Amino acid sequence: MDDQVNHLTPAHPAHGNDSGAELYARAEADRKAFWAAQARRLHWDEPWQHVLDWSRPPIARWFDGGRLNVAYNCVDRHVEAGYGDQVAVHWVGEPGDTRDITYRDLHRMVQQAANALAGLGLRAGDRVAIQLPMIPEAIVAMLACARLGLVHSVVFAGFSPAALRARVDDARARVVVTADGQYRRGRAVPMKEKVDEALVDADSVERVIVVRRVGADLDDDTPWQNGRDIWWHDLLRDASDHHDAESFDAEHPLFILYTSGTTGKPKGILHTSGGYLTQAAYTHRIVFDHRPGSDVYWCTADIGWITGHTYLVYGPLANRTTQVVYEGTPNVPHEGRHWEIIQRYRVSLYYTAPTLIRTFMKWGEQIPARYDLSSLRVLGSVGEPINPEAWLWYHQHVGGGRSPIVDTWWQTETGAIMVAPLPGLRAPKPGAAQRPLPGIGAKVVDDEGRQVSPGASGYLVIDSPWPAMARGIWGDDERFRTTYWDRFAAHDDYFAGDGARYDTDGDIWILGRTDDVMNVSGHRLSTAEIESALVAHPAVAEAAVVGASDALTGQRVIGFVVARGEADPPTADDLRRYVAEAIGPIATPREIHSVPELPKTRSGKIVRRLLRDIADGREPSETTTLADPAVITDIAQRFGPRTDA
C-alpha cells in the first residue's frame, strides 16, 4: 500500500483565488477576523456588532446583531446579480424523468411557496416537518421555511411513522410537508398513508401539504383528510410569485435535525442562521474548490441527513452552484447510473460516502470504465472512516488517478466540515482526514484532555467555538451540556464522541465512535434506540445491540435478546419488524440471537464490548468485571467460530 501512496503527489492547487497556505496563515493570525471575512461574502441587511459572543458557553452567539435572510442569500442575490439563467439543479428522477431548474425558476418557486406557507398562518419561529423524497420540492420547501424564519425539521423518508411522530411531537410542528409516494428501487411506494398513520391525534399539526410525485403509479388513491390536507400544487397555484424577504437575526433558528445519541431518544440538534450559512458556504467553497458558473457539483446524500442540509441545500446554493440532484438508488435501472449521470452533466465535483464506494467496488471497476468521467476534478468522502482500499479504488477508477480526494470529517452537531485536507495542498493519505480546516481548532487529547503526541491515539475534540456549531438540543439544553461539554469541561472543549490518532506527521486519522453509537452505511444509529424497540416486543425481557465490523457497510447491527419468562423466543423476523416500525428499515438488525442471559457487570450494566468481540469473531477480552463470566462463555459457544466477520 505504501508504494501506491507514495506515487500520489499533490494535484494542482485548487482553491480559487486563495492559496490554502494563506488561508491557514490568516486564520491563525486572527480567527475572529478570519470568520468575519468569510461572513462578509454573504449578503447582510444589517451588520453585526460582535463576531463572537462566547460569554455563556456552550451556547455561542456568532455575528450578534447582524441580520440576514438565508433564502435570499441562496437564491435572490444570484438572480439580482444576473445569473437567473444559470441552472441551479439538474434534477434526475429515478424513473428517468429530468428537470433543469434555473436560479430564476428556483426564485419563483421559493417565493410562491413562501407566500403559500405564510397564507396558512405560519409565523417566524413556527416549526414545519418535512418528509419528502429527493425531489426539487424538498429544496423549495426548506428554502421557503428559511425565507419566512420558520424552523424546518426534515425527517428522512426512510424513517417509520413512529419515528416521524416522535419528531413532530418533540418540535410541535404545525405543518407537515410530504408526498403521495416515492420511487424506490424502480417501484412507486406510498408515503402519504404512512404519514397519516404517524399523525393520528397529533395535536400540534394543523395542515399536511402533499406533493404529487408518483400519482397514477400508485395502486390506490392517496388517502385524504379534508380540512387538514392540501395538495402542494393547489397551494402554490393560488400563491403570488412575488415575496419580499424579511431579514432575521443571525441567531434566529434555521432548522432542527434529529440525530441518534446514546439514549433511546433522538436529539433535536438546533442550528441557527448567520454562522451556519457562513461556514456552510466557506467549507463548500474551499474544500471542493468550487468555482461558480463552471463546476457541476453532485452530493449524493439525502436531504434527510445533515450532509443533505449543508452540502446539497445551503452551502452549494449560497455559492451559486450548478448541481445534480438524483432521486433514486444507485443501481436503478443499472449499476452504471451514477457514472452515466456524471458523463451526461459533466460533473466535476462529486461527494459521496465510503459505503457507496465499497458497493461500487463490489460491482466492479468495469462499470465506471464504460463511461467518460474525465470531467471529475475533486472527489469527496463523508460519513465514516474510508478504508485505504476504497480510497485507492475511488482515486483510480473514478478519479482516473488525477482527482484529489477530500476525506471530510464532521457531524450533525458541527453543522459543517471541520477536518479535511484542502485539495492539492498536502500529499494525500488514503484514509486520513488530515488537518482541521483554516479557522477550526480540532485536536486529539487523552483522558485528561491533554493533547497527545504524534503517533498516539485519543479523543477528537474541538477547542474553540466555530460558526456552524449547534446551538443546543431542542428543548433540552442540559442534555446538550452533558453530552458534549462535560467530558472535557476543564478545557471548555467540545467532545465529538470519536476516537482519533495523530500519525508521526501530526495528521489526524479518525478511528470511529467511542460511545454506543453505531455507523451503518454512514448513518448514525443508536444502540439504545434499537434496544428500546426490541424490548417493546411483549416476548422480550432484555436486549443488547452492538455494531459488528462489516466490510461493506462499515458496521452492521447485531441484536441479542433474552426472552421473557416462559415465553417462546420471538422469531428474528418478528423482532426486525418491530425495529422497522419503531425507527425504520435502516435500523433493523442483520442478525438477532436469542440468549439465556446478557453479560453484565456486578452493578447490572450490560457489557456490549464483549458482545462486539463475539460478533466480530474475536475471543472475548477481559471478562473479569462480569458478575458471571460463564454467561459470555455460553454465548460464545452458541455463536461458534466465525469466519465472515
Q: Which of 58, 304, 308, 385 binds ligand WTA (CB under 6 A)?
A: 385
Q: Does 321 help bind ligand WTA (rule: CB under 6 A)?
A: no
* 635, 614 contact by CB (below 8 A): yes
* 279, 318 contact by CB (below 8 A): no
Smallest gap from residue 522 Cβ to ligand WTA (A): 7
Smallest gap from residue 413 Cβ to ligand WTA (A): 7
Q: Does 524 help bind ligand WTA (rule: CB under 6 A)?
A: yes
Q: How many CB atoms lie within 10 A of CB 30?
A: 12
Return the half-sphere exposure (C-beta side, CA atoms, 13 A cut-off) of residue 460.
28
Q: Give Dmax over CA atoms of the chain in angstroms.
A: 73
With CB under 6 A as the contact rule, which of the stretches 120-128, 290-298, 443-451, 495-503 interacts with ligand WTA? 495-503
Near ligand WTA in 462-481, by CB under 6 A: none
Which residue, 149 or 383, has its beta carbon nearer to ligand WTA?
A: 383
83: left (phi over 0), alpha (psi -120 to 50) or beta: alpha
Q: Does 495 help bind ligand WTA (rule: CB under 6 A)?
A: no
Q: Which of 181, 383, 415, 424 binds ligand WTA (CB under 6 A)?
A: 383
Q: Does 384 help bind ligand WTA (rule: CB under 6 A)?
A: yes
Please report where in the chains the cell 426534515 appears, as a residue: 154
Is residue 364 classed exposed, middle or buried when 0-12, 13-18 and 19+ CB atoms within 10 A define those classes?
A: exposed
Site track for ligand WTA across 253-272, x = CB under 6 A? ------x-------------
Which residue, 310 or 594, has its beta carbon nearer to ligand WTA?
A: 310
Smallest gap from residue 1 Cβ to ligand WTA (A): 18
Site track for ligand WTA across 342-361, x = CB under 6 A? --------------------
Q: Site for ligand WTA (CB under 6 A): how many residues?
A: 23
* 247, 68 contact by CB (below 8 A): yes
Smallest gap from residue 466 Cβ to ligand WTA (A): 14
| Alpha helices for 364-467 (secondary structure H) | 366-369, 388-393
Q: Which of 161, 275, 497, 589 binds ligand WTA (CB under 6 A)?
A: 497
Output the CA angle 9-11-13, nearest 5 degrees: 130
Q: Does 428 help bind ligand WTA (rule: CB under 6 A)?
A: no
* 452, 502 contact by CB (below 8 A): yes
Q: Does 411 help bind ligand WTA (rule: CB under 6 A)?
A: yes
* 64, 79 contact by CB (below 8 A): no
Smallest gap from residue 408 Cβ to ligand WTA (A): 5
Smallest gap from residue 410 Cβ to ligand WTA (A): 5
Cell of 183: 420511487
The Cα 235–Cα 212 span in angstroms is 12
With CB under 6 A as the contact rule, which of the stretches 511-519, 581-589, 596-604, 621-629 interacts with ligand WTA? 511-519
Q: Does 412 help bind ligand WTA (rule: CB under 6 A)?
A: yes
Smallest gap from residue 510 Cβ to ligand WTA (A): 4
* 66, 50 contact by CB (below 8 A): no
Q: Which residues of 147-167 are buried (b: 16+ CB within 10 A; e: fewer)?
A: bbbbbbbbbbbbbbbbbbbbb
Q: Which of 300, 352, 355, 519 binds ligand WTA (CB under 6 A)?
A: 519
Residues lying near ligand WTA in the complex (CB under 6 A) are found at 259, 305-307, 382-385, 407-412, 433, 496-498, 510, 512-513, 519, 524
